[in-house]
Structure 1
């Protein structure tokens, strides 16, 4: 069962982005982490294209890692610090999931990703303190909504 945007406090910017979110949160939590990582990498690449004069060259020619793309997007300085921190932590959890065969996603993993959102995440966690699925869906929704808003703002400049 997935949470609606209202239940997860997500405000999608377009129907397409909401549908991407819904696809990302399907399946076991490890798959959700991997899909979310891919979805956020898509947003990072859009941000690079929009935020740099020739960002297309960087995205198309340089074989940058996720963390390198994130560092460049951070330098563009159009994403809030808590989004950057959350993405950095998502990358850590994704790497653990991808490199540990029997890896399970825990509430503490999700706390690491959601923690940079501070009181917003804490308030949601009080409603679902032990539900990996609800917390993960909320964090994915929050991150993707924030990223889509930042990317749209960059693309409009």
Structure 2
């Protein structure tokens, strides 16, 4: 059975994305500051990367005990397992860079070029977001961040419930 038709799989991903929307999208919309959406999406995807590593590695929790294991290294370990597609790896890497800018540069303002690079990692879906939200960077980002998280949640779901991606 294809994973998109497996009720358990579909339910798992839907629950994950509901959690994401509740904790990330609503907070960012309430504050009006898209940097918050970037920071919270980064935090959530880091949580998903950790769950993925625990599910895929027999003693993954040992790797994650290191409090100095940064997001990029977690992404590198996850990518090395060979199940994350290159677009997702690229998108998460760009999200990490954008998060670092938002977190470490006072009064940082995201520019169109950065958002464009992040969005393009989604391919055709990003083009659809741009059509849906013409000249609306807030809308593009608001659609792009959950889609990147959803793609990672799909891989995590496969790992945790033991179904192939």
Task: Name the TM-score, length of structure 2 as normaliser.
Answer: 0.81
Q: Do structure 1's residue 120 and structure 2's residue 121 form an aligned pair?
A: no
Provide the C-alpha distance between the structure 1 equivalents of 2:16 and 2:84, rounded to a whole number of angstroms.
Answer: 21
Structure showing greater relative contact order (alpha-carbon pairs closer than 8 Å, 6 or more residues apart): 1
Segments of 5+ residues of structure 1 without an aligned counterpart are 1-10
Q: How far does the alpha carbon of each residue in 1:104-143 deviate from its partner, in whole angstroms, 9 at most, with x for none?
A: 2233222121211112211221221321221111111101
Q: Note the C-alpha offset of 1:145.
A: 1.1
Tell me if 1:20 matches 2:20.
yes
C-alpha displacement at 1:146, in angstroms? 0.8
Matched residues in 2 for 1:129 and 1:22: separation?
A: 26
CA distance in 2, matches of 1:131, 1:98: 23
- Name which of 36, 44, 49 aligns with 2:49: 44
Q: Deviation per CA, 1:23-74: give whole Å up to 9, x if none.
A: 2122311111111110110011011101111111111246311000000000
Q: Does 1:66 align with 2:71?
A: yes
Between Structure 1 and Structure 2, how many residues are aligned? 147
Compared CA separation, residues 22 and 129, structure 1 to 2 (3 A): farther
Q: Which runs of 5+ in 2 are unaligned?
A: 1-10
TM-score (norm. length: structure 1): 0.85
1:102 matched to 2:107? The reply is: yes
Structure-2 residue corresponding to 1:57: 62
Which position in structure 2 is the counterpart of 1:147?
152
Q: Using the TM superposition, give the Cα deviation of residue 12 of structure 1 relative to its aligned residue in structure 2, in angstroms.
A: 7.8
